[in-house]
């Protein structure tokens, strides 16, 4: 009787471990770590203490991070700009015969500038005239908004004025800020540049001495409350856009053509 040769069966191939197997292993690892942590700290005195639970949670979170769960990134701070509403919180500034005050116009313009710059992605500090935050203030730039007299002087008492600190430690930055403000403001409003009435009160403005020396600052008088009253009161959005455009020109390092002021 012949012997029958029995051929051994070929072993079945196991399917490769896919993502579901790896996830299962991760879960087992996390649970095992949690149980080991619990056994390590198992004492009647600390079993249910807040300290034990905190340590357990920290260990579990650490294991999840090691398994590929990335922590939530911390958002970066947005660039900061300071806007001073001239006379706000201190006095009324110039007062017109009908009761209109410079302070109210300054604040209206400053609030609109703030809204524009926030939409452009900046954090804005709206500051009073003698705000305590001005001491050592640090930002990309600081601009103080003012206006000129309500009284009729002559037909040339119209237009805006811009100045930076006379003693700025970065004169090139101060020059660029004033150029940006002047060019962009005139382009937006069509108002003349009234350079011959820039005073020491502007170039030696108190805030220039109070802020951090790294903060480039300027002051703008957006018009005369007499001959420029219509645009200041009834087209305030155009005025504010001009100021905001000047600030954006500076902080974004935009090109600014050689400024040839249009005199009144």
Write the pLDDT tens digit of every residue in 11-44: 444 444 444 555 555 555 555 554 455 455 444 4
pLDDT in tens, 38-83: 455 444 444 444 455 555 556 555 555 554 555 555 555 789 999 9
* Residue 170 shares a structural domain with residue 106: yes
pTM for the predicted model, two decimal places: 0.71
Tokens of 22: 């790896």
* Residue 48 shares a structural domain with residue 119: no
pLDDT in tens, 104-155: 999 999 999 999 999 999 999 999 999 999 999 999 999 999 999 999 999 9
Tokens of 204: 């030696």
């959005």: which residue's tokens?
Answer: 237
Rounded to whole angstroms, the Cα distance separating 179 from 184 reads 8
Q: What domain range is 26 assigned to?
A: 22-66
Look at the alpha carbons of 70, 71, 72, 73 in this order and tell me if their dihedral is positive or negative: negative
- Among 66, 96, 123, which residue terminates a domain? 66
Rounded to whole angstroms, the Cα distance separating 96 from 151 reads 8
pLDDT value for 104? 98
Please indicate, yes or no, if residue 186 is contained in any of the structural domains: yes
* Residue 61 shares a structural domain with residue 84: no
Q: How many domains does the chain have?
A: 2
R_g over Cα of the chain: 34
Please say whether the beta carbons of 160 and 178 come within 8 A.
Answer: no
pLDDT value for 41? 46
Tokens of 231: 């645009």
């Amino acid at each position: 009787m012949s012997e029958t040769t029995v051929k051994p069966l070929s072993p079945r191939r196991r399917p490769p471990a896919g993502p579901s197997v790896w996830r299962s292993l991760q879960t087992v690892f996390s649970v095992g770590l949690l149980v080991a942590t619990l056994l390590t700290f198992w004492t009647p005195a600390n079993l249910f203490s807040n300290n034990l639970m905190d340590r357990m949670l920290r260990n579990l979170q650490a294991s999840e991070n090691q398994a590929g769960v990335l922590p939530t990134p911390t958002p970066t701070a947005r660039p900061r700009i300071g806007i001073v509403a001239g006379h706000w919180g201190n006095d009324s500034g110039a007062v017109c015969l009908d009761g209109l005050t410079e302070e109210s116009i300054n604040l209206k313009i400053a609030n609109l500038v703030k809204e524009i710059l926030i939409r452009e992605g900046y954090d804005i500090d709206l500051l009073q005239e003698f705000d305590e935050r001005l001491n050592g203030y640090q930002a990309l730039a600081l601009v103080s908004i003012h206006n000129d007299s309500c009284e009729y002087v002559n037909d040339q008492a119209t237009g805006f004025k811009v100045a930076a600190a006379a003693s700025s430690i970065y004169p090139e930055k101060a020059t660029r800020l004033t150029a940006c403000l002047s060019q962009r403001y005139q382009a937006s409003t069509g108002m003349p540049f009234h350079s011959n009435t820039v005073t020491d009160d502007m170039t030696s403005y108190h805030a220039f001495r109070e802020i951090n020396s790294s903060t480039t600052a300027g002051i703008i008088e957006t018009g005369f409350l007499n001959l420029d009253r219509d645009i200041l009161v009834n087209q305030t959005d155009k005025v504010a856009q001009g100021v905001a455009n000047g600030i954006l020109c500076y902080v974004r390092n935009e090109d600014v053509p050689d400024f040839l002021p249009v005199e009144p």
